[in-house]
Amino acid sequence: MNSKLQWLRNKMSSLDLQGLIISNPVNIKYLTNIDAEGILLLTRKENIYITDARYIEHVHSILTLFDEIIVYDMNDVSKEDYENFFMFCENVGFEENYVTYAKYKEYIRKYKINSLVETEHIIEKQRMIKDEEEISNIRKACEITDNCFSYILKYIKPGMTEKQIADEIEKYYKQNAEGTSFETIVASGENSSKPHAVPTDRKIQDIDIITIDMGCKVNGYCSDMTRTFFVGEVPEYVKPIYDLVLKNQEQTIEEFKDGVSTRQLTKMVENDFKLNGYDLVHALGHGVGMEIHETPFINYKSDTLLKENMVVTNEPGIYIPGKFGVRIEDTIQITKFGSIKLTNSEKNYIII
Amino acid sequence: MNSKLQWLRNKMSSLDLQGLIISNPVNIKYLTNIDAEGILLLTRKENIYITDARYIEHVHSILTLFDEIIVYDMNDVSKEDYENFFMFCENVGFEENYVTYAKYKEYIRKYKINSLVETEHIIEKQRMIKDEEEISNIRKACEITDNCFSYILKYIKPGMTEKQIADEIEKYYKQNAEGTSFETIVASGENSSKPHAVPTDRKIQDIDIITIDMGCKVNGYCSDMTRTFFVGEVPEYVKPIYDLVLKNQEQTIEEFKDGVSTRQLTKMVENDFKLNGYDLVHALGHGVGMEIHETPFINYKSDTLLKENMVVTNEPGIYIPGKFGVRIEDTIQITKFGSIKLTNSEKNYIII
């Protein structure tokens, strides 16, 4: 059995779970490498993956004997089989944050489970701490993102539309990685005041402000980076805000380290913004891995202590509605004594 | 209030629901045109949309007074407000097939709801019957798909990879529509034996079989079409299977009409395949609209009667593991007397 599955089984023992139903495909891929539609059951003695005829061939091509996973075609699993899987289990866990209420009721009926219990992101928490291979994949995705950003700075010319720029980034990521890790944001002029802007047909002006939020995937792992930069010149009224965002982004990079509370980090930035008359309207950051947004979430509601080898973003931003916005974001790796930047593009005023 | 929201409110009355919590963003977009992150509450007297600071500006730019929707920033909604929204409601509905078990428990706590009841796809069922504007959007997406297929037949040359072909289709859809409606499938040679193949680096041979499953979006509405075609020649051993799939696809197009059971339709094709020694390993079809796969689902487990102005796919396929596969699919519109093909590409042997 692989080490991730073994770790999870030990965790189950400590939680008095004799069985576990895993439905979230990202968690299934993390544990088994299987990327198909199906369900993973950890029963007392077996690891069982149930899929449908479309995927049987593909799943068999991924697994080896070492995985110790039995694959079933769902059409070959009888009502009695389902009832037997967890027969001698007192507590069976499920993913209450992924499974719908309708599915929850179906599981109880189908598997005849007496005690189907919530597992509070058991696998998502396991995924927070990255191993060497995972970090190496994210690092590669970040390097490609730095390269793409250098390329795109040279590519952008006044008159191009936001959509055109976003398309070029996507093309770059398709050629150099496994494509984008999320829909690229290219927000120029007043559009940059929307933190989650979608690229439009707005044309880049001779004097302009542009925010690009971009990332790609390498071996299934994501990168995430944002820069706000300028065409022609940096308007004087933008400078104080840019400087304030950058100051907070750079100060917090030093504070992001093993043992620090995500809430405290957020409060620190929020307070400094408020002192200057601005608000922090979104989270300060989030975990990055197989998903572009994953635990830990770094906001004033969250309450996680950062740990060595978590990979997260650090992305303070300030937005003046209808006018402009500034956001600066890096993907970083947490260590015992601080954090390591995985994205390394320039952060001082960039003028093209 | 718009007609979709009005229809839903009438339906709620007939189901003795005084309130409804709508969480599925596709359903929210269908009812209100809002594409943001948030929740739509239909209370006794008001329509309320709660979102966060990032989206407030955007949502206000979409809505008009006519919509009669009150928009709140979630940060301005107090614990008491939440408890008041459904105060005099006996039954409040929720989307049990979308809402996770964890959210379900949160809703009960947050809104202080006594009777939070399942609504059995109430809005998805409303979405099954398309109005004129919706059908016109799907028709346009289908026309563009036919044109893209003609284009791609001329584009493909031996030596190109599956990925290259899929990229070209995506590029075409980006230029002529709102992009693809799902990840394009280009499966050649033995890869075509996998119904849900992902494009690989396999190169097209001088004599080859290719299955392409493709679709795009127009004004948020999808198209979906599959053709299996040939490079150089049609191998003799493929012909009987191709003919069997095509015969069933064409016969059933006539059977797809108002009042017919989706199970019966599927059984018909399944039986004919079995008579010839093959299996129908996936659904015969599915609804197409704002989502590429939506109700009604057409398989042997489903039990819907087709109705006028549903738009669905008709896609029988046969797969010989490790060797090849044949699938032929059209998007069609159900009428009282039969169905209208919305995709119209050639279905007899196509050789390039």
Asked if pLDDT for residue A151 goes beyond 90, the answer is yes
User: Which secondary structure element, helix H or strand E, spans residue A217, and what is its range?
Assistant: strand A217-218
Rounded Cα–Cα distance for residues B169 and B199 (Å) = 12
The answer to whether A196 contacts B167, with C-beta atoms less than 8 Å apart, is no
**B168: nearest CA in chain A?**
A171
- Domain extent, residue B14, equals 3-127
Q: Describe the crossing of helices A162-176 and A132-155 by its angle, rounded to 10 degrees.
A: 140
* Chain A residues with at least one Cβ partner in B under 8 Å: 52-55, 57-58, 94, 96-105, 118, 167, 174, 193-196, 279, 281-282, 321-322
pTM: 0.83
What are the C-alpha distances in Å from B14 to residues B7, B8, B227? 11, 10, 44
Asked if pLDDT for residue A65 goes beyond 90, the answer is no
Chain B positions in Cβ-Cβ contact with residue A98 (cut-off 8 Å): 100
B36 and B174 both lie in a single domain: no
Domain termination residue (choose one: A68, A94, A126)? A126
Average pLDDT in the B200-215 region? 97
Q: Both tokens of residue A197?
A: 């802007």
Q: With respect to residue A352, please indicate whether it lies within any of the assigned structural domains.
A: no
Q: With respect to residue B316, please indicate whether it lies within any of the assigned structural domains.
A: yes
Going by the DSSP 8-state scheme, the letter that residue B67 receives in this structure is G
Mean pLDDT of chain A: 96
Q: Classify strands A285-287 and A294-298 as parallel, antiparallel or unpaired.
A: antiparallel
In this predicted model, what pLDDT tens digit does every residue of A162-186 receive, in sequence order? Answer: 999 999 999 999 999 999 999 999 9
The owner of tokens 């998007």 is B331
What are the C-alpha distances in Å from B178 to residues A19, B145, B163, B291? 44, 12, 20, 14
For A45, residues 6+ apart whose C-beta sits below 8 A from its C-beta are none
For A140, residues 6+ apart whose C-beta sits below 8 A from its C-beta are A218, A219
* Chain B residues with at least one Cβ partner in A under 8 Å: 52-55, 57-58, 94, 96-105, 118, 167, 174, 193-196, 279, 281-282, 321-322
Asked if pLDDT for residue A66 goes beyond 90, the answer is no
A69 and A162 both lie in a single domain: no
A106 and A134 both lie in a single domain: no
Q: Residue B174: which of A58, A96, A167 has the nearest Cβ?
A: A167
Average pLDDT in the A75-92 region? 96
Going by the DSSP 8-state scheme, the letter that residue A191 receives in this structure is G
The answer to whether A96 contacts B99, with C-beta atoms less than 8 Å apart, is no
Question: What's residue B337's pLDDT?
Answer: 92
The answer to whether A53 contacts B282, with C-beta atoms less than 8 Å apart, is yes
Q: Describe the crossing of helices A3-14 and A25-32 by its angle, rounded to 10 degrees.
A: 120
Query: The domain that contains B289 carries what CATH number?
Result: 3.90.230.10
In this predicted model, what pLDDT tens digit does every residue of B60-105 receive, in sequence order? Answer: 999 988 889 999 999 999 999 999 999 999 999 999 999 999 999 9
A120 and A138 both lie in a single domain: no
Pick from B24, B37, B101 the residue to mutate for testing the A interface (most A CBs within 10 Å).
B101
Q: With respect to residue A350, please indicate whether it lies within any of the assigned structural domains.
A: no
B43 and B116 both lie in a single domain: yes
Asked if pLDDT for residue B196 goes beyond 90, the answer is no
Asked if pLDDT for residue B48 goes beyond 90, the answer is yes
Asked if pLDDT for residue A220 goes beyond 90, the answer is yes
B172 and B316 both lie in a single domain: yes
Domain termination residue (choose one: A126, A158, A184)? A126
Query: The domain that contains A60 carries what CATH number?
Result: 3.40.350.10
Rounded Cα–Cα distance for residues B146 and A320 (Å) = 45
Confidence band (pLDDT; 50, 70, 90) for B1? confident
Q: Residue A99: which of B100, B118, B322 has the nearest Cβ?
A: B100
